[in-house]
Amino acid sequence: MAFQSRRRFLWHALGGAAATIPLTPTLLRARTVGLEEFSERLRAAADDDEQAWRFVKQQFPLRSDLILMNAGNLCPSPYPVIDTVIRLTRDVDADASFQNRAKFGDLKERARHALARYVGADPGEIAITRNTSEGNNTVINGLTLGHGDEVVIWDQNHPTNNIAWDVRAERYGYTVKRVSTPPTPSSADEVIQPFLDAMNDRTRVLAFSHVSNISGVALPAKELCTLARERGILTLVDGAQVFGVLHIDLHDIGCDFYTGSSHKWLVGPKEAGLLYVRQDRIEDLWPSDVGVGWEGALERGAAKFENLGQRDDACVSAMETAVAFHEAIGPEAVEQRVRSLAAALKQGIRERIAAAFFHTPLEPEMSAGVVIFMIPSRDARALYEELYSDYAIAGAGMGGEFTGVRLCPHIYNTMEEVERVVSTLGRIR
């Protein structure tokens, strides 16, 4: 059984049983359940793994005819998160006074503590940002670099951990060195060596995606961070395609900075994210935003990097509920499920379409939930559009060096849906 027998959940994050809120016909389809009932019913379904995961799927307001495999871009939130955001938004709109909104300070700190526990960090090392892009740029803008310095980056990084470096380098005069790794690598050694070859005594920063959004390749983050630290090199790890999928411990990984978004695999509120700054790096990293409350922020560790002015307090607070939802299932169970779905998808496509080519490694240790493939006889963009318009299968169309279709299954997908996707691809190839 994939689910943990012992689950931790933060029932108080919901402020009691969440009320049913009939906003749309989709939301009317299922009764909202709080995390306590969710956990109890999950335990009751423990004898049938697929039944348990079908129950998890029911916690999301998905269209009944839609197979959504676009977690690499945007995920739906489960009812407990939706209800938290709506309940707290209504609270603010009913009374936007300073006195009423004072409670959000405590709610944000609870969210910070939950996030720290979830990623294996200290609360003082966690800033709640708006997304991975903001986290990456906070680090890139905040480091002191100049002529003679080098930054080594992976050429499969997201633009906010790639082109963003170029823009700052043009301004401040340092050098950005791109590393290419072998296509569809089958071992960690294959991807580590190019980074080792690129690092020298001028290298100040190593910046890479934990899992690439354009290829699905997973890098051995702990090994790369260890090698960098041994050489006095700072590390920025973009965790957008990992945060909410893999069960991570940032202290164990040993990075200096780590970023992630709530709206992807964490299935959390929109426009919220995480920035981890290692405790001994907080003082040296300059903030990008300085505003009201700056003096107090200086005393609160990584909180100095979220001095962003007025925030959506309901959204920030709901990060605690998103963590609670994952903990009710179990982070290890979430990772195992996503890996199982991705593996079944790869295997099914390989068996059904012999000519299919995968940009994403087939080895589970070299990938996670992102699956990118190409069918030589089909235009990738046209196939991506056809899957959605004709078969209600939502993924992403990828271009450039890794042209293909990207499918990213998550905990709201079933094995039956994977089979339907594979069957559909086999018919329309």
One-letter identity of residue 301: G
Asked whether residue 382 is domain-assigned, the answer is: yes
Q: Are residues 128 and 261 in the same domain?
A: yes
Count: domains in the chain: 2
Asked whether residue 43 is domain-assigned, the answer is: no
The runs of H, that is alpha helices, within 243-377 are 250-253, 294-297, 313-329, 331-352
Q: Note the pTM of the prediction, 2 decimals.
A: 0.91
At 108 the three-state DSSP class reads helix
The range of the structural domain enclosing residue 156 comes to: 107-323
Specify the CATH number for the domain of residue 302.
Answer: 3.40.640.10
The residues that bridge with 179 in the sheet, in sequence order, are 154
Query: Which tokens in the block code for residue 233?
Result: 């090199």
Q: Are residues 294 and 339 in the same domain?
A: no
Q: Are residues 178 and 215 in the same domain?
A: yes
Query: Which tokens in the block code for residue 191?
Result: 């991807």
Q: Are residues 142 and 214 in the same domain?
A: yes
Asked whether residue 84 is domain-assigned, the answer is: no
Q: Are residues 362 and 264 in the same domain?
A: no
Q: Are residues 245 and 117 in the same domain?
A: yes
Encode pLDDT of 55-89 as tens digits: 999 999 999 999 999 999 999 999 999 999 999 99
Q: Tens of pLDDT along the chain (429 residues)?
A: 454 443 333 333 334 333 333 333 333 334 467 787 887 777 777 667 899 999 999 999 999 999 999 999 999 999 999 999 999 999 999 999 999 999 999 999 999 999 999 999 999 999 999 999 999 999 999 999 999 999 999 999 999 999 999 999 999 999 999 999 999 898 999 999 999 999 999 999 999 999 999 999 999 999 999 999 999 999 999 999 999 999 999 999 999 999 999 999 999 999 999 999 999 999 999 999 998 877 777 777 999 999 888 999 999 999 999 999 999 999 999 999 999 999 999 999 999 999 999 999 999 999 999 999 999 999 999 999 999 999 999 999 999 999 999 999 999 999 999 999 999 999 998
Asked whether residue 71 is domain-assigned, the answer is: no
Q: Are residues 140 and 189 in the same domain?
A: yes
Q: Are residues 128 and 269 in the same domain?
A: yes
Q: Are residues 217 and 360 in the same domain?
A: no
321-340 in b/e form (b: 16+ CB < 10 A) is bbbbbbbbbbbebbbebbbb
Tokens 């299954």 sit at which residue?
A: 409
Encode pLDDT of 143-159 as tens digits: 999 999 999 999 999 99
Tell me which of 272, 298, 323 is where a domain ends: 323
